[in-house]
Structure 1
Amino acid sequence: MRIQLVTVGTTGSVAPYTGLAHRLLADGHDVELATHARFESLVSCCGLRIRPIDADPFEALLGAHSRRGSGLPALRALRGAGQRAALDLVDGILTAVDPKADLILLSTLAAPIGSVVARYHRIPTIGAFLQPDVPSREFAPCSMAWRGPARANPLRARLANAAFDSLYDAAVRAVHQRLGLAPAGSHRLRTTRERDNWPIWHGYSPTVLARPSDWRSGLRVAGYWWPHECPQWQPPALLADFLAAGPPPVLIGFGSMMPGDPEQLSHLAAGALRRAGLRGIVQSGWAGLDVIDDDIITVDAVPHGWLMPRTAAVVHHAGAGTTAAGLRAGVPAVPVPVMTDQPWWAARLVELGVSEQAISYRELTESRLADALLAATRDGVLRRNAAGLARALQREDGAGSVADAIARLG
């Protein structure tokens, strides 16, 4: 079968799909990953074919978020940036979708546009989402604060979905116009997908978040899709030597987030590590962090699956992919969420007992981070809970679940 996976966004929105695509490739399918050109080395290193999407508006969008102030004008400005980002994707996805594909898998951010293009070419599609998308009574939507079972949760989710759809309205209407189709809005298309029981596979663990009992048919929780690691990758000598020179360090990184002034955040991280008396590895990430000290090093991109199990704890922004990597590593977390679904996943880590508390980035201080680091590295209950969850995740095969379902389609 000729299968295309289309995903857009940051590293965390792309890396999990390399594992899913590689599993489908191993099953004998002809597989292509359509994503931003900046991830070409990440994709090709896994032996996958990439169809590059040149438009990449997400760094600018994250920058707009980091610069935003407060109040209604700031929210309007951020909404405008989100609408422009969606519009910027139209030409790229129109070009990237393979008209000869037998099946297309679409990520959350690619689905509103990609589903229109695929339908135009009469290609079946499946949602491949990293977060829950359909309303449920059992939890609040992931763009809001975490809440457990509540009667108001479906209403909250419908409001959240309406806000998301409004960001794509202009883009969806533009793609209809480009293809000569009758105009339709993003919310209408969501309603149609729900009415037709559009299949969605969710790439997170049912151990971390069980499938809700009130979800419709066609919605499945597969388990995590672990990023495929490049077989030729070797750790830099500096990193290998540092790990060998002392006890497991703490890892601090914010991935693709650009939450504030990099010099200030670097100084805060170094100060917290010194206060806690801990060794540390700081990942520069998109934020451009840079710390040099006797017991602290700074590294560029390093596979989480290799590095995190070698640490004592992980400080991260609680994006879906990084959250998954930390759980797989079996180490306690100090989540410092910045935006979107990150506060939701951060709260979930606390609920799961692998984190003592989540610290909003806006409330992050050197002393608060130091205290959280001490708790994460000294609390035996957190360590046992983290290790137990990691063992449970080892028994799951998220990519295999999706591959088996696709094999049944053929």
Structure 2
Amino acid sequence: MSPTPDAEQSNRQTRYFELPANGEHSASLPDELPPYEALAELQATATSLEDGRIDIDLSSRIARRLSKLVPTGKPPISYGQNQPPAYTETSEKSIRLNVVIQVVGSRGDVQPFVALGTELQRHGHRVRLATHGQFDKFVRESGLEFFSIGGDPAELMAYMVKNPGLFPSMKTLRGGEIQRKRKMVDEMLHKCWSSCIEPDELTGRPFVADAIIANPPSFAHIHCAQALGIPLHLMFTMPWTSTREFCHPLANLKANGSDMSATAANYVSYSLVEWMTWQGLGDIINAWRGTIDLEAIPFSEGPCLTETLGVPVTYCWSPALVPKPGDWPENIDVCGFFFRDAPKYQPEPALEQFLASGPPPIYIGFGSIVIDDPDKLTATILDAVRATGTRAIVSRGWSNLGGDSTGDDQVFFLGDCPHEWLFQQVTAVIHHGGAGTTACGLLNAKPTTIVPFFGDQPFWGNMVHAGGAGPAPIPFKALNSNNLAEAILFCLTPEASAAAGEIADKMSSEAGVRRAVASFHANLPLNEMRCDLLPNRSAAWLYDKKGKKMKLSKMAAEILVESEKVLWNNLKVYQPHPVHIENRRWDPLTATLATLATTGVGMVSSASDIVVKPIQALRPVTPSHSRSASRDRSGDNSKRPSEEDVFGRPAGMDLPSAPTVTKDKDPQHGALAAVKGSASGVGGFFKHYSKGMLLDLPYAVTEGMRNAPKLYGGKAYDPGAVTDWKSGGIAAGKNFAHGMVEGIGGIVMEPVRGAKKEGAAGAAKGVGIGLLNLGTKMGSGAIGLFSLPSQGAYLTLYKNFRPVCRQSNKSYFVEMAVSPEAAAIIQRKKAQYCRFADSNQWNRFDSIMLPNATFLFHNPDGGVITKGDIKYSWSSTKDWVAFFENEFKTMQTIHIVGPAEMEQIGPDEIKAIWAVTYHAGTKENEGGVHGTGGGHYHETWKKVGDDWFMESLRMERLYWKVLSV
């Protein structure tokens, strides 16, 4: 049952959205919280709400225990919060990478990454945007490669909102909704991996990612990065990193008599939300990790992986609105909102007439939010507008506010209209609080009222209110004509206008997309990523023979192999940024029990396969749905409403319209498959047993004993991470030496230390601690002599024999070298291009370009060059020639291009980049205009028969200067 508006208001008073960080909370407390205690209480601590948010009870035991982990003391503030991180080297642009951007969410979530991808392309990177099939056209029209990861954003939101790890209701279970949503998440995980290694879906051009950019809800990011050993950079529009300054945007904090400080409560909210999410999806993620040859991640590590590993994060909001918290480290940046180029828009005559007929109106709209009773909302809006005497433009949105009414002199009902243009025409804006809409309103210095419906919208409402640019957010269920009228009047005050103007002034100086790209480059391990032979390309292979090691790019490796300088057998997959996830143990008892439980589950599962797999292999085949048919329709969002739709939005799992009948199995083949299945079960049983008893258990006991001193106030010695046989041997030696020295010496030293602190009582405690250390530290050192080298040897073998990444490299890492003949043809035709343009031989360009060649010219700021109403963008050679033939009738030009960078991107396609300097002036001997400019041509050339023709041209102008008039 939904809470009443009064109850909503009461709960809202206990939320901590933005609170001062005073650093006055718990001191000497345990370093970590054992996960086995958290599991038992998590369900009672947090409750999922219908609006996609989570109520967190701060008085619960788990919340109190987590509060002890909050860092103490004043946060650092001296690392330059308004500047991006310093570059690790000065030539970050010279290396060209294959970058995959993985995004899960709505169009509003995808749109900022389109702007980011476009900017990355200008830096010479190849960019693939992997997101839902619904956005195929939107992404491709922006000039980016697209890869569908399946799923439906509305359905995914419904799953995460209603079932973020909580036990589902019986009604939900009977309806099968949970299983459908879990299948959708599983599909997206598999396709996110495919987006890293599979060729382009349209052109077949090979692709393997050199770096990953992702938003946190895409989930697969860190695991794909680990599998390939490549850098990961997270970017998001709302905070997802623990901080004391404000709570998780999806959390409602309820005090319930708790004396927990606001800063601790804020910090704890992030852990609880992540733990709930992992509890609901951890099994799916771990099962998928097995398909890409990665080991399962325990519950204690999964929820906090990105923070534990120090993954760089860039947040896409304005620091003028939400400054970077002082307790965020240097690998986290707040760069500013990502704005797209404003679309060209011509308002309808009725709108122009309304705007001209009176003072500027306010804007009210809720976009794609679907409202149950739009007539009631319309009446509320009209009553509030008339009560304040203002004029208003009301966006109809998906709820069709206003119905068939066209409005009157005071209210205008508007259809689709770009906010970039519309918000310049109004005095204030009232909307649902999406990050993009909020940013657009504030950029235009408009006071803002936010009426949040779900998700992070209350967070943005509170941030706007904290900045003085709007009233406190009004939850939609509490909205009425009175509080809406009060909000309108607040937005029309000089104080609100001044605050919005101050935020806009700061935002106008921010270059969010460019700063995000700078942050991305700054966090790349560029020295480790470079090819030793072709330094502008990323290394994918490691040549290792007779002690000589060399990092090689895909192209360098192919050239050396084809010229028989090296053999494939001498090449190993190179991971420029290996990711090591360690299962941290808390004590020997829980370490032993957890390992035995994991081993037992694996053995039981394999034992069942001995029987189950043969049955599955021999079972008659029933008609099955065609996966390809479903895949072909993944981008179609025009399904009819059905019982599987959620909130009136189409479900994400398409049901194929007709089954595909498969032929009966060959009995002989079925028998062979049954034998293989049974044999795999037997092999799995003994594999789990031997690995668990001989490798995992000794290693777990070693780590449990090593960490045990933390349970009684001591410190755990860190011998270093075990990543291979060499590091395992070194760690074993260090751990043994430390264990012997501290274990034996502690019998004497611990009583002495205790006596100095607490006298006789302290000495007695010291004796006990010394005896405990003797057992734990010496035990860890002794067992570690076997377990640590064994673990290192296992990891070495595991890395060298993982089939997935080896196969992906051999299949997709090869890029073809440009043949001398093709390069000569393109170089000659580019020289002709310059000569024909300078000598006005426009009729000869058909020998250089394809008829349907495309052309795009950019200014240094990234915008398309325009002349009056004409954009320098053409989709045919004929139109391009017609424009410049007329443009240069009275002009003389000289174009000078340098040698080209060429890359074969397909069997019949070559990419070429040229540096160009050009001079232009009137043809008169004296006077007139004379200017000079320069930049780069980015071109693709297509092979037709034995000849090559230009297929596309993108000019990136770097400067243009008029020298005389």
The normalised TM-score by structure 2 is 0.39
CA-CA distance at 1:332 after TM superposition: 0.7
CA-CA distance at 1:309 after TM superposition: 2.5
Change (3 A) 1:46 1:248: farther
Change (3 A) 1:86 1:250: farther
**Distance across 1 between alignment mates of 2:157 and 2:364:** 23
**Distance across 2 between alignment mates of 1:52 and 1:237:** 40
The secondary structure found in structure 2 opposite 1:109 is helix
Question: Across the two proteins, how many residue pairs are aligned to each other?
Answer: 402
- Aligned counterpart, 2:498: 384
Change (3 A) 1:376 1:83: farther
Does the 8 Å CA contact 2:316/2:335 hold for their aligned counterparts? yes
Does the 8 Å CA contact 2:155/2:181 hold for their aligned counterparts? no
- Aligned counterpart, 1:349: 464
Q: Which deviates more, 385-394 or 356-365?
A: 356-365
Which residue among 243, 246, 253 is the counterpart of 2:365?
253
Q: Does 1:362 align with 2:477?
A: yes
**Distance across 1 between alignment mates of 2:349 and 2:279:** 48
Equivalent residue letter for 1:250: I
Q: Does 1:284 align with 2:382?
A: no
Q: Does 1:124 align with 2:124?
A: no
Which residue among 204, 210, 215 is the counterpart of 1:107?
215
CA-CA distance at 1:139 after TM superposition: 1.8
CA-CA distance at 1:86 after TM superposition: 6.1
Q: Does 1:95 align with 2:207?
A: no
**Larger CA Rg, structure 1 vs 2:** 2
- Aligned counterpart, 1:150: 263
- Aligned counterpart, 1:189: 302
- Aligned counterpart, 1:224: 337
The secondary structure found in structure 1 opposite 2:263 is coil
Change (3 A) 1:122 1:94: farther
Higher relative CO (Cα under 8 Å, sequence separation at least 6) belongs to 1
CA-CA distance at 1:386 after TM superposition: 0.4
Q: Deviations over 1:175-229 (max 9, x none)?
A: 3244353333677334332222111111112222222222234111111112344
Does the 8 Å CA contact 1:285/1:300 hold for their aligned counterparts? yes
Does the 8 Å CA contact 1:223/1:396 hold for their aligned counterparts? yes
**Distance across 2 between alignment mates of 1:105 and 1:141:** 22
Equivalent residue letter for 1:406: F
CA-CA distance at 1:11 after TM superposition: 2.6
5+ residue gaps, structure 2 = 1-96, 198-207, 255-260, 527-965
Q: Which deviates more, 124-133 or 147-156?
A: 147-156
CA-CA distance at 1:287 after TM superposition: 3.8
Q: Which deviates more, 45-54 or 199-208?
A: 45-54
- Aligned counterpart, 2:119: 23
The secondary structure found in structure 2 opposite 1:309 is coil
The secondary structure found in structure 2 opposite 1:98 is helix
The secondary structure found in structure 2 opposite 1:46 is coil
Equivalent residue letter for 2:214: L
Which residue among 502, 505, 508 is the counterpart of 1:394?
508
CA-CA distance at 1:236 after TM superposition: 4.4
- Percent of residue pairs identical: 29
CA-CA distance at 1:146 after TM superposition: 8.9
CA-CA distance at 1:238 after TM superposition: 4.3
The secondary structure found in structure 1 opposite 2:301 is helix
The correspondence of residues 195-234 of structure 1 with structure 2, limited to 5 A, is 195-230=308-343, 232-234=344-346
**Distance across 2 between alignment mates of 1:63 and 1:156:** 20
Does the 8 Å CA contact 1:139/1:146 hold for their aligned counterparts? no
CA-CA distance at 1:126 after TM superposition: 0.7
- Aligned counterpart, 1:373: 488
CA-CA distance at 1:60 after TM superposition: 7.5
Does the 8 Å CA contact 1:87/1:168 hold for their aligned counterparts? no
CA-CA distance at 1:83 after TM superposition: 8.6
Equivalent residue letter for 2:276: A
Which residue among 302, 323, 332 is the counterpart of 2:447?
332
- Aligned counterpart, 2:845: none
Does the 8 Å CA contact 1:22/1:48 hold for their aligned counterparts? yes
**Distance across 2 between alignment mates of 1:349 and 1:41:** 33
- Aligned counterpart, 1:274: 386
CA-CA distance at 1:149 after TM superposition: 6.2
Q: Deviations over 1:280-338 (max 9, x none)?
A: 22233344434531143333443322222221111111222222222112111111111
**Distance across 2 between alignment mates of 1:210 and 1:289:** 36
The secondary structure found in structure 2 opposite 1:152 is helix
Equivalent residue letter for 2:103: T
Change (3 A) 1:139 1:335: same
Q: Which deviates more, 45-54 or 326-335?
A: 45-54
Q: Which deviates more, 302-311 or 238-247?
A: 238-247
Equivalent residue letter for 1:107: N
Change (3 A) 1:31 1:237: farther
The secondary structure found in structure 1 opposite 2:412 is strand
- Aligned counterpart, 2:102: 6
Provide the aligned C-alpha RMSD in A. Answer: 3.3
The correspondence of residues 57-72 of structure 1 with structure 2, limited to 5 A, is 57-58=153-154, 61=157
Equivalent residue letter for 2:150: D
Q: Deviations over 1:45-69 (max 9, x none)?
A: 4333332343214157459979x9x
Change (3 A) 1:240 1:114: farther
**Distance across 2 between alignment mates of 1:64 and 1:197:** 25
Change (3 A) 1:23 1:149: farther
The secondary structure found in structure 1 opposite 2:289 is helix
Does the 8 Å CA contact 1:252/1:283 hold for their aligned counterparts? yes
Q: Which deviates more, 191-200 or 329-338?
A: 191-200
Q: Deviations over 1:331-357 (max 9, x none)?
A: 111111111221122111111000123
Change (3 A) 1:43 1:279: farther
Does the 8 Å CA contact 1:313/1:331 hold for their aligned counterparts? yes
Does the 8 Å CA contact 2:433/2:451 hold for their aligned counterparts? yes
Change (3 A) 1:364 1:49: same
- Aligned counterpart, 2:617: none
